[in-house]
Chains A and B, each alone.
Chain A
């Protein structure tokens, strides 16, 4: 067998490094009032005012083509904006999904009407999207989903429930995957829709997570009338469209930077200690982080060149989640300080990240699913 991965080093162009400095400059003043608790959550922390400011700078839809209102810049430049935002702890959660995958999906498969109606609001940092994939009986086994969209005249009538929908409470739209027909092939008969969450029959119920936060939701559809003009792409092509979307979802810097704030805080703590084990461990984590970044940047380069790095993206996400999840445990072992929401900065970060770290290998594809994809790439399945 040959090694099926195609990672190759990708350099950032000069203009990306210039942009990096602009972003750092912007963030040095824009984040002054953002509390530590929000910073620790990076792309799960939401601040609509902040999103609008990012939109004003033209940093949402940065790599979208100019004919769609984007800045037409490279995926590498976009990557720089993202990693600078995440490492600074910017509350990018409101616009994150729309910028990352809903906008690109609408550009790729959407109709001109959909594009005109929706893209400008995304670019301004005012229109937000959530992802409607998982359901009560359809988690890792996505193709088992049951929410039905039945064609009736010029509408689809939707009935069913989406679950674990992050951020739905602040989003205007959901990109939803519904079953539009019964097919022998489980992957057939699925279609993607843009669903206006203010439509009658849509109920959004909060699900509080173990840390007491409201991120998740249950979104129930009861005879919701979705206009046929809100179908994205072709009816029955949903599975293929979603699969392409996942490469965008799985390889970005958010897949290894979730615990970054804790690592930075550890360095602060260790500047006052002389501890061989701690110093060595920090260096070790730095080596892991640097390598993950080179891998993730390499995937961005492949996306920029129009390739489909689905396998490489799964590798980045799996390794990235292991790294992010190790950090709270390592920090605990080295510091021997209690996680405490009322403690010092280190203790606050430790409290939040210890509790939310189990989600890192669940969201966006579980560890086991990713490793299954990789095993298939190796020729084992």
Chain B
């Protein structure tokens, strides 16, 4: 994709989400209603197929393009599994499996094994499982790594949700049939890495949202006869928030760009670790600036902050990814520390 088509993609996503992700849409989704109209629009624009090659019926975009959509979905707190479907359809495409018509995909994350194409294992906290028709799974079949597709059976599913009231289902499979499966040549930890990548980008978008909301509020809310944004104490806090928003955006882009270059392990760990810290500082400032009103359900700030608090713990917390980085830095030795940063490589 060229810069121009990236801009077009960004504009289209902004327009679609600002038209369709209303406050009521999010509230209804939190009560369990599937946002059918929003999802139809997303599908009609082919957003879910951004990473699928054109010859497999997709858009043929790259991870920087996908990042635009991840960020936009986070910025609007779109209550749909767009990020998950982008990643799931990408994993299917790696194995040359086409996506079933009208399917909604989720990604199984856990240890699965297959015997004669019957799959067993469990996937805790599977995103949007109860709204999904199919699950994509990466599993071991003997010494082979395979991608498989299963139909979601409600009998295998125990519903739950995260603190942002996004559906997270526990899927327990005991010799479930695989509709499709195929050998794949990829990292066995791919699901977790791509999960961390998509959540990092979504968090970057949600952080932008809490910054814009906070600045707007500070310019509107009058105390002591003037907008609170005129007070230096508030200005300095919002400046700090914005530096973390900027850092998160760069870290998320860096991860996507490294994915495009085929060398993402270092950058994904950096992004998830860095953005976790940004959430801790940023969500605190946004709520502080909003005062009591931002603490109510009525006000919408929490749609972003509750997602941030949930997402930073999913697919490995910042600490977990920091540990990956730290262990490598130490085993590589001090002399290779700087070269590993300039090359963006964990193994050096």
Chain A residues with a Cβ under 8 A of chain B: 1-3, 5, 7-9, 20, 83, 87, 260, 263-265, 267-268, 270-271, 276, 278-284, 286-295, 298, 312, 315, 318-319, 368, 370-372, 374-375, 377-381
8 contacts between A and B (CB under 8 A): A7-B253, A20-B342, A287-B325, A290-B267, A295-B246, A315-B242, A372-B236, A377-B242
Question: Inside 8 A of A293's CB, which chain B residues have their CB?
Answer: 341
A279/B323 contact (C-beta < 8 A), A295-B250, A379-B215 known: yes
A380 partner, pick from B229, B251, B337, beta carbons under 8 A: B229
Nearest Cβ on chain A to B208's Cβ, whole angstroms? 6
A249 to B8, CA, bound (A): 36
B274 partner, pick from A2, A264, A282, A291, beta carbons under 8 A: A291
Chain B: which residue is nearest A4 at the CB level?
Answer: B242
A9 near B342 with CB under 8 A, answer no
B251 partner, pick from A260, A291, A315, beta carbons under 8 A: A291
A371 to B231, CA, bound (A): 13
Nearest Cβ on chain B to A35's Cβ, whole angstroms? 18
Question: Inside 8 A of A291's CB, which chain B residues have their CB?
Answer: 247, 250-251, 254, 270, 274
Residues facing A in B100-125 (CB within 8 A) are none
Question: Inside 8 A of B152's CB, which chain A residues have their CB?
Answer: none
B250 near A381 with CB under 8 A, answer no
* Interface segment out of the listed B29-37, B126-134, B326-334: B326-334
Chain B residues with a Cβ under 8 A of chain A: 208, 211-212, 215-216, 218-219, 229-230, 232, 234-236, 238-240, 242-247, 249-251, 253-254, 257, 266-267, 269-271, 273-274, 277, 318-319, 321-327, 329-330, 333-334, 337-338, 341-342, 344
Most buried by B among A267, A268, A283, A298: A283
A7 near B212 with CB under 8 A, answer no
A289 to B326, CA, bound (A): 13
A374 near B277 with CB under 8 A, answer no
B333 near A271 with CB under 8 A, answer yes
Majority SS at the chain B contact face: helix
A380 near B250 with CB under 8 A, answer no
Nearest Cβ on chain B to A321's Cβ, whole angstroms? 11
A375 partner, pick from B236, B321, B334, B342, beta carbons under 8 A: B236
B322 partner, pick from A271, A287, A315, A381, beta carbons under 8 A: A287
Give the number of A-B contacts (CB < 8 Å). 170
A267 near B329 with CB under 8 A, answer yes
A287/B269 contact (C-beta < 8 A), A267-B334, A280-B322, A380-B215 known: yes
Question: Inside 8 A of A265's CB, which chain B residues have their CB?
Answer: 334
A286 near B341 with CB under 8 A, answer yes
B270 near A378 with CB under 8 A, answer no
A281 partner, pick from B234, B321, B326, beta carbons under 8 A: B326
Question: Inside 8 A of A379's CB, which chain B residues have their CB?
Answer: 215, 219
A203 to B337, CA, bound (A): 45
Question: Inside 8 A of B244's CB, which chain A residues have their CB?
Answer: 319
B270 near A286 with CB under 8 A, answer yes
B243 near A315 with CB under 8 A, answer yes
Chain A: which residue is nearest B211 at the CB level?
Answer: A3
In the A-B complex, the 4 residue pairs with the closest CB atoms: A283-B326, A283-B325, A283-B322, A375-B235
Chain B: which residue is nearest A317 at the CB level?
Answer: B243
A153 to B216, CA, bound (A): 55
Question: Inside 8 A of B277's CB, which chain A residues have their CB?
Answer: 284, 287-288
A7 to B247, CA, bound (A): 9
A283/B238 contact (C-beta < 8 A), A294-B254, A318-B243, A379-B215 known: no
Nearest Cβ on chain B to A86's Cβ, whole angstroms? 10
B243 partner, pick from A280, A284, A319, beta carbons under 8 A: A319
A284 near B330 with CB under 8 A, answer no
Question: Inside 8 A of A378's CB, which chain B residues have their CB?
Answer: 211, 215, 238-239, 242
A145 to B244, CA, bound (A): 34
A283 to B273, CA, bound (A): 8
A280/B319 contact (C-beta < 8 A), A374-B242, A378-B242 known: yes
A280/B334 contact (C-beta < 8 A), A374-B242, A381-B235 known: no
Chain B: which residue is nearest A264 at the CB level?
Answer: B334
Nearest Cβ on chain A to B310's Cβ, whole angstroms? 20
Question: Inside 8 A of B246's CB, which chain A residues have their CB?
Answer: 3, 5, 7, 295, 312, 315, 319
Question: Inside 8 A of A381's CB, which chain B residues have their CB?
Answer: 230, 235
Contacts A3-B245, A282-B322 aside, 20 further interface pairs with beta carbons under 8 A come to A2-B212, A7-B249, A9-B257, A265-B334, A268-B334, A271-B330, A279-B326, A283-B322, A283-B326, A284-B319, A287-B271, A287-B318, A287-B325, A291-B247, A294-B254, A315-B242, A368-B236, A375-B238, A380-B235, A381-B230
Nearest Cβ on chain A to B120's Cβ, whole angstroms? 33
Question: Inside 8 A of A298's CB, which chain B residues have their CB?
Answer: 250
A8 to B247, CA, bound (A): 11
A267 near B330 with CB under 8 A, answer yes
A270 to B232, CA, bound (A): 41
Nearest Cβ on chain A to B222's Cβ, whole angstroms? 14
Most buried by B among A291, A293, A319, A372: A291
B243 near A286 with CB under 8 A, answer no
A283/B324 contact (C-beta < 8 A), A3-B211, A5-B246, A368-B236 known: yes
Chain A: which residue is nearest B340 at the CB level?
Answer: A286
Most buried by A among B235, B321, B330, B334: B330
A9 near B229 with CB under 8 A, answer no
Question: Inside 8 A of B274's CB, which chain A residues have their CB?
Answer: 287-288, 290-291
Question: Inside 8 A of A1's CB, which chain B residues have their CB?
Answer: 212, 215-216
Question: Inside 8 A of B318's CB, which chain A residues have their CB?
Answer: 284, 287
Chain A: which residue is nearest B322 at the CB level?
Answer: A283
A290 near B235 with CB under 8 A, answer no
Question: Inside 8 A of B270's CB, which chain A residues have their CB?
Answer: 286-287, 290-291
Chain B: which residue is nearest A288 at the CB level?
Answer: B274
A283 near B323 with CB under 8 A, answer yes
Chain B: which residue is nearest A296 at the CB level?
Answer: B250
A289 to B273, CA, bound (A): 11
A380/B219 contact (C-beta < 8 A), A8-B253, A288-B277 known: yes
